[in-house]
Amino acid sequence: MADPTPLAALPESTPVLDIDGLIDDPGVKVIVCCGSGGVGKTTTAASLGLRAAERGRKVCVMTIDPARRLAQSMGLSQLDNTPRSVAGVDDANGGSLDAMMLDMKRTFDEIVESHSDPGRAQAILENPFYQALSTSFAGTQEYMAMEKLGQLRSAAETTGEWDLIIVDTPPSRSALDFLDAPKRLGSFLDGRLMKLLSAPARGAGKFGAKVVGASLSVVTGTLTKVIGAQVLKDLQGFVSSFDALFGGFRQRAEATYAQLQAPDTRFLVVAAPERDALREASYFVERLAGEDMPLAGLILNRVQEVPLPNLSAETALAGADRLDENGEHPLTAGMLRLHADRVANGQRQRRLAQRFSTAHPRVPAAAAPALAGDVHDLDGLREVAAALADQ
């Protein structure tokens, strides 16, 4: 019997992604796992973090996964906005593993508190408009993920606590949201309406004050009719208190992009061997290239293994039909049909992977097989990482 092959979905011409070479490279300080939702980014980030730690790196894994699977798989009762040490890691090579889960609002609050005097910070934090912005504005989670990455990198450079940070990006509807979010939030906060509403707080000359006052009167009158006086009052109060931070958001958005483009950062595009996931992965590869961001390669998760690769789907189905006709061995007939389904699924996955490889022939790839159940402990993470490394 031939050994199962988790690489069945990858064309032979696809360059092999050297996982151990990537995580062992001391010049790589940040690995960003990105891709569409539901493709295994969290498991990939956690498994790579564990393998890197057990090979001697000092690792911090940051997840933005609401299902909290990372905490469970690492044996932690909870994850929060502060990195926590993971027990059970083999530290014989001098490595260590910490993990944290992004608290979007807490990170936003930390920005306000660190860039405002106590009185202004309190006014912002208590403002209803800020509370809505910090929890539900489109792109806030992605932006705060990069804010937290910046904080972790700064702490790593200052204390030497970590030499590798692995980021599990948000489960967005589109993987491209992750790259667009910093500019989107910065543009919103620096937009014309926000600047107009903040004009009185910024001050102006007599003539300018009259012009601004007249313009503001028209705008606020219209907005009052549309959204109500109290909402407008909350908005103006937020903008007035938040005015001093506007420029900081723009600067941090630019710093975020520079950080992602840095030579010590690597992107891993994570996908499942499904049409939509690989289409999203293809878009992301093209976007990363367009933004000059360093791509390490593709991780293809949940690849179908074929236990008997020399037994074709047609032969298996023919055998099952003969057994049914003779009324013999129903369990064997069922197993043959299951094998035929797995072969057909493997062939479909291979065709999809071939399309991706044809479109991106220079993108290295590694694959992990579909597992029977969810990864829920360190041993499961080790199994995934070993499969990715053993290509």
Average pLDDT over residues 255-284: 90
| pLDDT the model gives residue 248 | 66
Residue 356's CB: how many other CB atoms inside 10 A? 26
| pLDDT the model gives residue 166 | 96
Average pLDDT over residues 315-337: 92
Sign of the four-CA dihedral 73, 77, 80, 85: negative
Higher pLDDT, 376 or 238: 376
Place 188 in a pLDDT band, splitting at 50, 70 and 90: low
pTM: 0.80
Which tokens is 181 given?
A: 């979010």
pLDDT-wise least confident of 79-93, 182-196, 302-316: 182-196
Instruction: For residue 289, give the DSSP letter.
Output: H
* Average pLDDT over all residues of the chain: 79
| pLDDT the model gives residue 4 | 39
Give the torsion through C-alpha atoms of 221, 225, 226, 229, to 10 deg: 80
Which whole-number Å values give the CA distances from 291 to 257, 285, 361, in the listed order?
Answer: 9, 10, 19
Set out the domains of the chain in order of their start, with CATH numbers: 19-192+248-307+360-389 (3.40.50.300)
Residues 6+ apart with CB under 8 A from 6: 303, 305, 367, 368, 369, 387
| pLDDT value at 220 more than 50 | no
Place 306 in a pLDDT band, splitting at 50, 70 and 90: confident
Higher pLDDT, 253 or 79: 79
Percent of the chain with pLDDT strictly greater than 90: 39
Q: What is the pLDDT of residues 20-48, one digit of tens each?
A: 999 999 999 999 998 888 898 889 999 99
Average pLDDT over residues 295-322: 88
Categorise residue 319: left if φ over 0, alpha if ψ from -120 to 50, beta otherwise: alpha
| E strand segments, 86-198 | 96-101, 164-168
| pLDDT the model gives residue 243 | 58
Higher pLDDT, 216 or 76: 76
Average pLDDT over residues 270-299: 92
Higher pLDDT, 310 or 383: 383
Q: What is the pLDDT of residues 328-356, one digit of tens each?
A: 999 999 999 999 988 888 888 989 999 99
| pLDDT value at 112 more than 80 | yes
Contact 167, 145 (CB under 8 A): yes
Task: Tell which residue, 297, 300, 303, 255, has the closest CA to residue 111.
Answer: 255
